[in-house]
Amino acid sequence: MTDKLKLLTPATLILDDKSYSLPTYMGVEGEKAIDITKLRSQTGYVTLDDGYGNTGACESAITYIDGEKGILRYRGYPIEELAAHSRFVEVSYLLLYGELPNSEQLLKFSTRLNESSIIHEDVHHFFNGFPRGSHPMGILATMVASLSTFYPLPDRLDAETEVQIVANLVSQVRTIAAFSYKKSIGEPLVYPSIKYKYTGNFLNMMFSSPVRDYQLDPDIVRAIDMLLILHADHEQNCSTSSVRTAGSSMANVYAVITAGIAALWGPRHGGANQEVIKMLEQIHAEGGDGTEFINQAKDKNSGRRLMGFGHRVYKNFDPRAQVLKEHCDKLLNKPGINDPLLDIARRLEEIALKDDYFISRKLYPNVDFYSGLILRAAGIPTNMFTVLFAIGRMPGWLAHWREMIHGEQVTIYRPRQIYVGETLRHYQDIKERV
C-alpha cells in the first residue's frame, strides 16, 4: 500500500461463527476500500463480483472519476480545463509523466514524437499481406504487435529506451492507423510530414493523396484533437484493465498495447460510437426522423435500443459529452455539411433532452453520441471510429503500463472463480458410455 492511502478503522467480517478483521483505507478523494488481499488464505472464501464492478484491482494516480457528480480529472486537472486550454500532445505528456510540461519539455516531447512518426520501411511489406477491405482495427492490432520484431526491447529497460518506446507508440499509432485506412481503400500510403502537428499530420496522412491535396480545416483539426483528449484515459475500463492484466505478466509493451487494442475493438467499448451511426442509418433507412424510434426505445419489449445515451459510470451526465457538444454543434453548422443522419441525430438529441422518460432516468447523450457525429462530420469513415479511439487512448494505456512496472512490486493478475461445473467423475471406456 502507498502512503497516499489513509488507514481507517478495520472492518469486521463474521463467517462461519468466526470474526475476521479486514483493513480499510481511504484514497485522496474520499473513496473507501476494504482490503481483502488475505481473505482467501484466512477464511477460505473469495469474493464474487461479476464484471469487477465493485473491485479495486490497483492503486492509481492517473485518473479520477466520480460518476455521481460527473467528474473526470487527469492527474488532478478537470477535463473541462484541459479541453479548453490544452492540446492532445500536452495532455499525453501529463498522463505519461504526471505534470503539465513547461515550454522546453513540450518542445522536446513534440520534437521526439515528430521524429518517431516514421515506421520502419520493412513494416510496409506487412500491409501488402492484408486483403483489400481488411478492417483497420485488425490491421492496427497486428501491426502494433509486429513492432516488437522491428524495435526489440532489451531485457532491462533503461530510462532513455523507455522514453523512446513510449514516443514511438504514441506517434506511430497514428501512422499505422492512417496506413491501415489507405490499405483498406487501395490508395497509396502518405508519409507523416514535419510540416504538420500531431492531429493535422494524421488527417493529412488519411485524406491527402499524390493527386489530391487535403486542406486542413482548423475547426475539424481542433474537434478531432479535442476528441483525442477526451478519450485519452478513463480509469480502469475494459481495455485499460486488459493492458494491466497483460502487463502484469511482464510481456513486452507492444504485446501489452495490442491487448488493449483488441479489447477496445468490441462494440460495448470502443465501438460504441460506431453503433450510434448504425442506429442513425437504420432510422434513415426506415424513413423516420427519430420520433418513432424514440417511442419504441421506451418499450423494453420492442428490441430497440437508443445508442449513445446514458453511461455505466456517469449517473448524471458525462462531462466529456458536455465538452464535445460545443464542437459538434460548430461542425454541424458549417456550410456544406448536409447529411440526413446528422439531422436525425439532432432530432434524437432534442427529444431526449426534453422527454421526462429520459430525464428521469438521466439518459443524456454521452461521449459516444457526440464523438460519432463529429467523426462523421469530419469525413472519418465509420470503420475508422474505433481506430481514432485507440490513438486517443494510447497515452493512457502507456501511462498505466508505466505506473505498474514502476510500482513497488508487479503482482501478476489472477482472478478467482466460483466453479459451477460437474463434480468428480471417473473415466469410462468408450464401450461403457451411454
Chain segment 177-230, per-residue pLDDT in tens: 999 999 888 889 999 999 999 999 999 999 999 888 899 999 999 999 999 999
Which amino acid is present at 283?
Answer: I
d(CA 169, CA 68) in angstroms, rounded, equals 34
Position 184 scores a pLDDT of 84
Q: Which three cell numbers stand for residue 128?
A: 501488402
Predicted pLDDT at 299: 86
Q: Residue 1's pLDDT is what?
A: 67
Q: How confident is the model at residue 102 (pLDDT cuts 50, 70, 90)?
A: very high
Give, in order, the Cα–Cα distances in Å from 300 to each of 151, 295, 304, 343. 51, 11, 8, 26
Give CA separation, 242 vs 4, 256, 259, 405, in Å. Answer: 25, 8, 6, 15
Domain boundaries, the chain: 6-56, 83-266+382-405, 272-377
Which helix (H) or strand (E) segment is 394 a member of?
helix 385-405
Burial 42-70 (b: 16+ CB within 10 A, else e): eeeeeeeeeeeeeebeeebebbbbbeeeb
Which residues form the catalytic set? 311, 368
Confidence of residue 166 (pLDDT cuts 50, 70, 90): very high
- Of 88, 63, 143, nearest to 319 (Cα)? 63
Contact 234, 263 (CB under 8 A): no
Question: Is the Cβ–Cβ distance between 147 and 254 less than 8 Å?
Answer: yes
pLDDT the model gives residue 312: 81
- Please determine, for residue 18, whether its predicted confidence score (pLDDT) is greater than 90: yes
- The pLDDT of residue 156 is 86
The reply to whether domains 6-56 and 83-266+382-405 share a CATH topology is: no
Q: Which three cell numbers mark 261?
A: 487494442
What percent of the chain has a predicted confidence (pLDDT) above 70?
100
Residue 409 has a pLDDT of 85
Alpha-helical segments (H) within 116-185: 124-128, 136-150, 159-185
Contact 146, 113 (CB under 8 A): no
> φ, ψ for residue 20 (rounded to 5)?
-130, 140
Query: With bands split at pLDDT 50, 70 and 90, how would you rate the model's confidence at 126?
Result: confident
If you classify domain 6-56 with CATH, what class do you get?
Answer: mainly beta
**133-165 per-position pLDDT tens digit:** 888 999 999 999 999 999 988 888 899 999 999
Candidates 1.10.230.10, 3.40.50.720, 1.50.10.100, 3.30.70.260; CATH matching 272-377: 1.10.230.10
- Confidence check: pLDDT of 289 > 90: no
Residue pLDDT, tens place only, 351-391: 888 889 888 888 888 898 999 989 999 999 999 999 999 99
pLDDT at 388: 96
Closest CA to 372 of 361, 382, 358: 382
What superfamily does domain 83-266+382-405 belong to in CATH? Citrate Synthase, domain 1 (1.10.580.10)
- Hey, is 139 helix, strand or coil? helix
Mean residue pLDDT across the chain: 92
